[in-house]
A = this chain, B = another copy of it.
Amino acid sequence: MTLNRRDFTRLGALGLAARFAPALPAQPAQKKVRYAVIGLGTIAGHFMPAARSTTNSEITALVSGHRDKAERIAAQYNVPPAAIYNYDNFDQIAANPNVDAVYVALPNSMHAEYTIRAAKAGKHVLCEKPMSTTVAEAESMIAACKTAGVRLMIAYRCHYEPTNLRAVQLIRSGALGQVQTIESAFGFNCSAGQWRLNKKLAGGGPLFDVGIYSLNACRYLTGEEPAALSAYASTIDRDGRFNEVEENVSWTMKFPSGVVAACNTTYGGVMEGYFRVHGSKGWLEVNNAFVYEGLHLRAEFGETRLDEPNPARDPSHFQAEAEHFSHCIQSNLEPKSPGEEGLRDMRLITQIYKSAGIDL
């Protein structure tokens, strides 16, 4: 399932390298990029072992409101107690020469603040998606990193994940002919009490959290930006979970080439994340497409039938993502999913909610 060197050369030749490229192996002579992890929740639990398994990244500081938890994790990663910060003294990280970058793994509403504080502290920023809860925040994050002269990357795992890259490669190679339509959906039945359901923390409902994968996939699968979009949102379950955010969003997009895409996202339904792409010569499906492991590509075009389960296990996506950002820092390169990529999604998310009649 790994793309070979020829595949990547081809991706480069097709102009894809600008948006899709796996991390190159770090040059052994270079010092590892040292990360402070901000927020020690679930996703940080995927990132930290992944970063440790790279050749070019390591965890050297932690930022948490829970000192006990932080000390337990610090022991696992040989992080010295002095490199454990909380949200009050975080800015002191500027004085820590053993931190090159931060990984922002906080609830959405805190992405902007900690990206900007990290930038001001002179640290590069790898920020989880969604980039922010508003377009204005996203713009200020980009500006802050630019002013500080630090790199900003949004943690779009799927940009660095081989099965998603394989789908893009098949499309760009012309194997499917002219792409006409895409369907994509991603969601889950969200249990009560999660920060995701708190609008102040999350920014909005499932489109911010999981629908963003379908939105972003339609953009990388086509290589285009939507020219028009239309959406509906709904809330069915009146059980207290959806007092602040909507339960479902359905939207359709038209791209400049004429490709159309139909997407759903939900916090109320059981839904594997997937996309299906239909071209004049064939189709492909990746299902699952967006979870941490168990990705599976199927395609039919001409006489070719592809059935490619990806055996890679979590946290391989996070490893590829960490490797890429560290490489960019080491080599002074723009990441393949910079802040501007996150900003594009934020603008589209805002448009989708507006079309659905929801005020963010």
**Closest B residue to A229 using CB positions:** B232
A181 near B189 with CB under 8 A, answer: no
Task: Give every chain B residue within 8 A of A260 (Cβ-Cβ).
Answer: 232-234, 248-250, 264
Q: Does A228 contact B (CB under 8 A)?
A: yes
Within 8 A of B (CB), among A155-194: 176, 178-183, 185, 187, 189
A270/B262 contact (C-beta < 8 A), A180-B247, A230-B252 known: no
Could you tell me if A270 and B278 are in contact, using CB atoms closer than 8 angstroms?
yes
Contact A283 B258 (CB under 8 A): no
Question: CB of A353 within 8 A of chain B?
Answer: no
* A219 CB to nearest B CB, Å: 15
Whether a CB of chain B sits under 8 angstroms from the CB of A44 is no
Determine the main DSSP class of A at the interface with B. strand
For residue A236, CB closer than 8 A to chain B, the reply is yes
Q: Known interface pairs A230-B230, A250-B252, A254-B232. Does A272 touch B283 (Cβ–Cβ under 8 Å)? A: yes
B271 touches A258 (CB 8 A): no
Cβ of A185 to closest chain B Cβ, rounded Å: 6
| Known pairs A234-B258, A250-B260 / 14 extra A-B pairs, C-beta < 8 Å | A180-B247, A180-B248, A232-B260, A233-B260, A234-B254, A234-B259, A234-B260, A236-B258, A248-B258, A250-B254, A252-B262, A268-B280, A269-B283, A270-B283
Which residues of A does B touch, CB under 8 Å?
A: 176, 178-183, 185, 187, 189, 228, 230-237, 247-254, 257-266, 268-272, 276, 278-283, 300-301, 355
